[in-house]
Structure 1
Amino acid sequence: MIALIASCKKENTVDNATKPVVIGYLIPGQSISLRVYSQKGLSDTATYGTPITGLTPSVSDGSKTVQLTDSGNGIYTYNDLSFVSSGKTYQLKFTYNSLPVTATTSVPSKPVGFTASKTLINLPTGSTISPQATDSIAVTFKWKNPDSLYHVIVFKNDDSSPFNIHPQFNAAVNFTINAKKAEYYNVYYRTFNYIGIYRAILWSVSEDYINMLKTNANTSSQRLTDAPTNIINGYGIFSGMQSDTIKLQLTQY
C-alpha cells in the first residue's frame, strides 16, 4: 500500500520523542505485518526512523487474540491468512516506554463491480501540457458503493523503466487518487505522465486512512503533533482495507 507515515518527523519535545510510529494494514487473505519505529529528526532523510524491536504486540478480533512475531528491523508479523476477515473489528495492543499503545480498526468490504470504460489508453501527443490547455477524460472507473465507504485508486506502473512522456515535469510514476465516497471517478489524460502497463487498484479504506492521505497531500512539513492518527500513545495508522485491480495499457502514438 502507500507509505503514508514514512515522513513523520518529531518536534523537540519530550512527549513527542517518547511516542512510537506505527504502520499496520489489515487485508483479508494476507498476513499481518506491523512496522514500529522511532520518530525521525527534522534533518533525517531516511525513509523510516530507527526500528523498535523487542515488543510483544497482539491483535484481537474480540473472540481470538494472536501474538505477532518479532521478525527483526521493527517488523512484527502473523502469518495465519484466515485471521483477518471482512466486517470484523480488530484491536492492536503493545507496551512501549511503560505506556499502553493501542489502536482499533474495522475491515471494510471488498470493492464490488469495479470496471473501467477502457483498458487501452492512448495518450495525446505533444511535448508540453500547459495549465491553459484543454483536457478530456481518459478513462472512467465505476464501482458499487451501497454503504458509502471511502475509496482510493492507486496507480502502479509495472514496467522496469517507465517512459516519461513529459520529461520537463518531475512527476511521480505511481500515484494515488482520493475517490472519497463516490461510485465513479473520471481520470483525465493530464493525470498520466508515463506510458506502459499500469495497475489501477481500487481500495476500500477507513476514514483514518483518508485523513492521513489528505495530510500527506496538503503539506510537506506537517508537524507530527498535528498529524491525524488512530494510534493511542503513538503516531501512524492501523487500518483495515481491501482491493480490486484492473490492468491498463498506456500508449502514445
Structure 2
Amino acid sequence: MYLTIEDNVADLLGEPRKCLYRCQKYIYGLPDAGKAFYELYREHLKCHGYISTISDPCLFVKHINNDVIYIWIHVDDTYVCGTNKCVVDEFFRILRLKFDITTKQEVDSYIGIKHERLANGDLKLTQPKLLKKLFQTWEVTESTKDSYPSKQYISDKVVREPVDRIMYLTLLGGLIYVLKTRPDIGFAVSYAATKSTSPDTIDWLELKTILHYLYNTQNYGLILECLEKGADLVMTASVDASYLTYQDSKSQTSFSLKFGASGSY
C-alpha cells in the first residue's frame, strides 16, 4: 500500500515533501487491513490443525480425541466454545505464540448481539444497543398500539407523496440488521424492501410501524433451545413454491430451516 503525507507531517518526521511512501504495516480500519489480518490469523490456526469450514470461512473447528472446539473470528474478535476446558486453554496457548490477547471467560455479547442464558438452559439473543440507537435516531419514545409488525393504512386518509429515499433506506438498513435476532419482522421488512425504489408516505408509515412494534416488544429475542444431553441436533427443512403470482414473474420459491425446537431461518 502506498500513500502521500501532508507537508507539515513530512517536516515533523524529517522526510522530504511530495513523496510517495510505502506502508510497512496495514492501517487499522481499511478493508485491506482486515483481509490481511484474517489471512495471517487463518494461517496460524491452520498450522496448528484448526480447519475453516466450507459454509463459513470465519468458523474454524478442531477435533481432539473425543472433544471438539469451535472458533468464530470477526477481524480481531474471537468467540470460542469447546466440549472441554482443556481444548479451550490449549487454543489460548497457541494464540499467545503469535498474538497478545485478552480473554473473557463468560461472554455476554459478541459483535453487538447480547447473549442471555435462561434458567432452563436456553440461550436468548437480542440487540438492545442497536434498538436503542434506532429508537433515538427516529424519535420513538413511547409505546403505541402496534402489536404486529405490519399494518394496512387506508390510502384515502393518508396523502400519498414521495418521501426521501435515503431516509427510507437508512431505516430499512437498520431493520435488516435487527433481523439477526428478530425473525418475526422478516416478512414486513422484506415487503418494505420492495418499496425502496420510490417510497411514499404510506410506505414510510408502514416502515415506522415495524419500528414501533420493536419498541413495544423490546424483550423479545431469538431463542436457541438447549438440547438434552446426548440428544441429536435435528434440522427440518420446509420449501414453498408458487406460480404466476405476479404478472412480471413466473414463479417464487422460498425455504426455511429449523434446528431442533428453535426458531426458523
Structure with a larger share of its residues in helix: 2
Fold equivalence (TM over 0.5): no
Task: Kindly indicate which of the two structures has a greater share of residues assigned to strand.
Answer: 1
Give the number of the structure whose alpha-carbon radius of gyration is greater: 2
- TM-score, reference length from structure 2: 0.26
Bigger relative contact order, structure 1 or 2 (CA pairs below 8 A, ≥6 apart): 1
Question: Normalising by the residue count of structure 1, what TM-score does the alignment of the two structures yield?
Answer: 0.26
